Structure 1
Amino acid sequence: MKKFNFNQFKLKKVNIDDLDDRLLLINLYGTQGFILLVALIIFLFQKRNPLQLLAPHSWGAIAGWSILFAAAVLIVDMAITRWVPEEVTDDGGINDKLFGNRPLWHIAVISLFVSICEEMLFRGAIQEAWGAYWTSILFAAIHIRYLQHWLMTGLVFGISYGLGWIYVHTGTIWTPIAAHFIIDLTMGCILRFRREK
């Protein structure tokens, strides 16, 4: 029997400057599609219909909670940006490369796709089984680019926990989806227009 040689596979750190825009978008949409697939598989094992999560609710309450939560996150982020050294918040340039030259419509599409996929998995599927705390630990862990900085990892954990809290409080997945969308869209636009200046 022939042995499999694992030494032929080498993992190397990819430099963000080596990624072209096409490969970056393929990676983004591919990983988010995979996240949504995992969510659907978990729903299948939980014997839950994911479409029930998307049933309409009180849109005024959803908008109010989403906007308040997103505003709080953005205020904290602005404070961190103002008073914390840039190397502590460095994500390796991924967000800047992703949003820096993107048209506004595409920033909105990316933000919507990411918010739906991630919230369906983390709030809709995983939080149901693990609770908000452990779900937030996993959410922070998959944001690998922030793990080298404790402050950013803590911020991602806090955002995730807050999204889980507003999901439980409002009883609808639309609230964390909308809040996540507002945060990502705003941050994407800030990166886009900061580069223009």
Structure 2
Amino acid sequence: MKKMMNQAEMIKQMSDRELLNQLYLSQIILLVLGILGSFLFFSSLENWLSMFKWNGKEIFLFGAVSGIVFVLVDLFLMKVLPERHMDDGGINERIFKNRSLLHITFLSLLIAFTEELLFRGVIQTTFGYVTGSLLFALVHIRYIVKPVLLLSILLISFYFGYIYEITENLNVTIMAHFTVDFLLGLYIRFRSG
């Protein structure tokens, strides 16, 4: 617990630019791990590319629509629960509040692609659904001391893993992840107060 508090204090002492740089660094690390894992665990480029299918109906229904549902549930929880239950230490606020629409779009795409490539595309296809989902949730470690946020990230992680299991289409989980991050980024950027 003390280590978590030290991490929270360290983040508070960072400038917004430093925090954004750390976000980019973490995504580069996850992308490199995803690429290396792809080379290690996929027998061919064709095998790897088979994870990316263009099925508009699946991408829309399982990706975009389910992402919208998660965001609506999250917004509902923000309205009915005390703020302390949904507070991630202000990290998302600092990342998205002063960004342009283009930058929010880029960040959301980058995060969705890198995290889904690694956790669903490499880890889940190699080590299984539960392992991929738990590791995804573990990467979001700052939520561990917040039960509502922890439950939320676990549900999202297992849901993303599940929709990958049933569709075998990484574009679906990338769209779901992008939709959640993009819409919440917009909410943070444009809400009043």
Output the TM-score relative to the length of structure 2.
0.88
Number of the residue aligned with 1:60: 57
In the TM superposition, what whole-angstrom CA distance separates every residue of 1:114-171 from its partner, at most 9, and x where no partner exists? 0000000000000012322222211111102111112211110110111111112222
CA distance in 2, matches of 1:161, 1:193: 29
1:95-134 alignment to 2 at 5 Å?
A: 95-134=92-131
Say yes or no: does 1:32 pair with 2:27: yes
Deviation for aligned residue 1:102? 0.8
| Structure 1 portions without partners, runs of 5+ | 1-10
Q: What's the C-alpha RMSD, in Å, of the aligned pairs?
A: 1.9
> Hey, what's the Cα distance between the residues in 2 that align with 1:58 and 1:137?
27
Q: Which one is further off, 115-124 or 59-68?
A: 59-68
Mapped to 2, the partners of 1:177 and 1:133 lie a distance apart of 18
Matched, 1:160 2:157: yes
4+ runs deviating over 4 angstroms: none
Structure 1 residue aligned with 2:17: 22
Alignment partners' CA distance in 2, 1:55 and 1:82: 37
- Tell me the SS of whatever aligns to 1:129: helix
Query: Which residue of 1 is the match for residue 136 of structure 2?
Result: 139
The aligned counterpart of 1:81 is 78
Aligned to 1:178: 175
Larger Cα-atom Rg? 1
Contact 1:122–1:139 (CA under 8 A) maintained in structure 2: yes
Which of 182, 185, 188 is equivalent to 1:188? 185
Question: Within 2, Cα distance between the matches of 1:176 and 1:148?
Answer: 26
Q: Which moved more, 1:144-153 or 1:118-127?
A: 144-153
Counterpart CA distance in 2 for 1:39 and 1:125 is: 6
Alpha-carbon contact 1:69-1:179 (below 8 Å) kept: yes
Paired with 1:158 and 1:53, the residues of 2 have a C-alpha distance of 26
| Identity, % of aligned positions | 32
- Give the whole-Å Cα distance in 2 for the aligned partners of 1:62 and 1:22: 33
Tell me by how many angstroms 1:18 deviates: 2.4
CA distance in 1, matches of 2:151, 2:82: 16
Q: Tell me the amino acid that sits aligned with residue 39 of structure 2.
A: L
Q: Secondary structure at the match of 1:57?
A: coil
Structure that is richer in helix per residue: 2
Q: CA contact under 8 A between 1:53 and 1:173: conserved in structure 2?
A: no
Structure 2: give runs of 5+ residues left out of the alignment: none
Give the secondary-structure state (helix, strand or coil) at the position aligned to 1:148.
coil
Structure 1 CA distance, aligned partners of 2:48 and 2:134?
26
Would you say the 8 A contact 1:53–1:124 is kept in 2? no
Task: Determine the C-alpha separation between the residues in 2 that align with 1:71 and 1:12.
Answer: 34
